[in-house]
Structure 1
Amino acid sequence: MEGTKIGRLNFAIKEALPAMKDTASDNPNAEVLVRVVTFSTGARWHVAQPTPVEQFSWSDIAADGVTDMGKALSLVAEQLRMPPMEPRALPPVLVLVSDGYPTDDFETGLRDLMNEPWGKRAVRLAIGMGEDTDLAVLSKFIGHQEIKPLEANNAHTLVQFIRWVSTAVLKSASMPVAPSNDGQPGRPPVPVPPPPQPGPPNPGDDVW
């Protein structure tokens, strides 16, 4: 991700944090934990420990290297095993944000993720930043024909989408109801509300 895009991503996450915390506080029966993986040349945990959302803060990330998306998915898969995951829990929400094409073995990383029961049952969403994003790969990650990758082509739309996945989707996934299909392919494990319609960029906004 180039410098402008990564700066906008940092800004969008910080903008979404207050609403994310409000959403979690509205559902006190569900504990919302946050973790973050970054990937460029290699993949690493940016927020390694599951952090309660009310204690979560964002440290800016920088752009460098290539796009080792497969390694990132394998890292996540390791943490979705049982243990540390519990057999009975609310479905994880996995959000993949990318602005390009994977430069490593994406298929192996996705297979690692889908081999884990909680990887298969997770609510998987993706946001593509800019016209160069590999939307076909993001669709494979999502794995549900009813849900399409979100396309953010400017900073204003990116903020909208980050706020949506961290509030509306979080609220839906954290409701204490049984999954509708036990992770069967082709349908989301919990109801996913419709995303916001992208608005026009603000005056002076950069377009990717």
Structure 2
Amino acid sequence: MGKYDKVEGISKRTMNLFFIIDKSFSMAGSKIGTVNVAVREVIPEIQQIAEDSADANIKIAVLTFSTGAEWMYQAAIDAKDFKWSDINVDGMTDMGHAFKLLNEKLSRNGGFMTDAAGSYAPALFLLSDGQPTDDYQKVLNELKNNNWFKASLKAALAIGDDADKDMLAEFTGNRESVLTVHTSEALKKLIRFVSVTASKIGSKSSNAPVDGQDKTKQDDFNKQIVNFNDQLVDSQYDDWN
């Protein structure tokens, strides 16, 4: 139980942290293995952030995509109760299908944004090593009109040089929050950093969003990502093989 859970008068709002993970065949081997280890290891840190927060209850949702897309759980799970289930690879890279499911759940009507006490803008973390194999553009344009998506904190990891960084920048809205990794160690460090940073920034109270987006939070998020990435030195070789 968190130290603020029973404090009278405190109504904690929810901050949903979304992991959107490519599990196509090209992610086989050390890539998906590193993702599984990194997210599993960072969950306790997110749980601690949620426990220590006076403002927010953090929930976690995981959306995977290959040939089609699916949620790991059919609801966003309280961080304290979340159990990671290892992801296995298969199929193509139907990113458009993932965006469709994300758009459906970024809503109060049958979605994940329904808590009675209200919600902070979510944090969206997209990981991919390839290019979409379906027609994602129309669905992404529809997603961009979703007010929760507009307000969200966004980051993307391009795993290796084959990842479509232009498309990932379309998702995040800027190049600063698209990071490229070439080694399993760098991938693990960045998953931890982005997850923890998004949880800390996203779960803090702030002023009302400007034009549908909390500019202060997103700017702070981008700045911290860029600073961390500048300090992270990848190996001189690609170790995915």
CA deviations 1:185-206 (Å, max 9, x no partner) are 9x575431512232345xxx93
Counterpart among 126, 140, 144 of residue 110 in structure 1: 140
Secondary structure, in 3 states, of the residue corresponding to 2:76? strand
Contact map agreement 1:30 1:175 (CA 8 A) in 2: yes
Contact map agreement 1:15 1:159 (CA 8 A) in 2: no
The verdict on how the C-alpha distance between 1:171 and 1:96 changes in structure 2, with shifts beyond 3 A counting, is same
Counterpart among 44, 66, 73 of residue 18 in structure 1: 44
> Residue in 2 aligned with 1:119?
149
Superposed, 1:94-173 pairs within 5 Å as 94-144=124-174, 147-173=176-202
Contact map agreement 1:123 1:188 (CA 8 A) in 2: no
* Residue ranges of structure 1 left out of the alignment (5+ in a row): none
CA deviations 1:104-137 (Å, max 9, x no partner) are 1111221231121111111111011111111001
Q: Percent identity?
A: 35
Partner Cα distance (2:51, 2:72) in 1: 24
> Residue in 2 aligned with 1:45?
71
TM-score, scaled relative to structure 1: 0.88
TM-score, scaled relative to structure 2: 0.77
State the AA in 1 paired with 2:93: T
Secondary structure, in 3 states, of the residue corresponding to 1:76? helix
* Residue ranges of structure 2 left out of the alignment (5+ in a row): 1-26
Query: How far did 1:14 drift?
Result: 1.4
Query: How far did 1:7 drift?
Result: 1.0
The verdict on how the C-alpha distance between 1:206 and 1:96 changes in structure 2, with shifts beyond 3 A counting, is same
State the AA in 1 paired with 2:76: P
Q: Does 1:178 align with 2:211?
A: no
Partner Cα distance (1:82, 1:52) in 2: 17
Query: How far did 1:73 drift?
Result: 0.8
Give the superposed CA RMSD: 2.5
Count residues in correspondence: 205
